[in-house]
Amino acid sequence: AQKITQTQPGMFVQEKEAVTLDCTYDTSDQSYGLFWYKQPSSGEMIFLIYQGSYDEQNATEGRYSLNFQKARKSANLVISASQLGDSAMYFCAMRGFSMEYGNKLVFGAGTILRVKS
């Protein structure tokens, strides 16, 4: 079974500062993928960044980077230079790499991020 844990229900960050959103995962699979999504109040889930379990380098996408520590089973999202538009719910998710899982994503409970001006 796969499980995602996000221990921070809510976070505040000052505009232009960096913030780290925590994500730990549990799986017995050797191959898997980790995803971060952003959900604004409108409801749509927006894909941010992906990290494969065999990727040796941490993934980066613009202001987003994923701090992947495989031995600790953590995949924290780092947002640099926060903007007011970053205020949203953030979800960490994972998917196993086998036909058994197909495209099933397992999500964490999410972290609400509020950016202060």
Partner 1 sequence: KAGVTQTPRYLIKTRGQQVTLSCSPISGHRSVSWYQQTPGQGLQFLFEYFSETQRNKGNFPGRFSGRQFSNSRSEMNVSTLELGDSALYLCASSLESRGDTDTQYFGPGTRLTVL
Question: Where do contacts with partner 1 occur on this chain (CB under 8 A)?
Answer: 33, 35, 37, 42-47, 50, 52, 91, 93, 95-110
Nearer to partner 1, 13 or 34 (CB): 34
- E-state strands within the chain: 3-5, 10-14, 19-21, 24-26, 32-39, 46-52, 60-61, 64-69, 74-79, 88-96, 106-107, 111-116
Give the nearest distance from C-beta 100 to partner 1 in angstroms.
Answer: 8
Residue with tokens 């999410």: 110
Nearer to partner 1, 66 or 106 (CB): 106
Nearer to partner 1, 13 or 25 (CB): 25
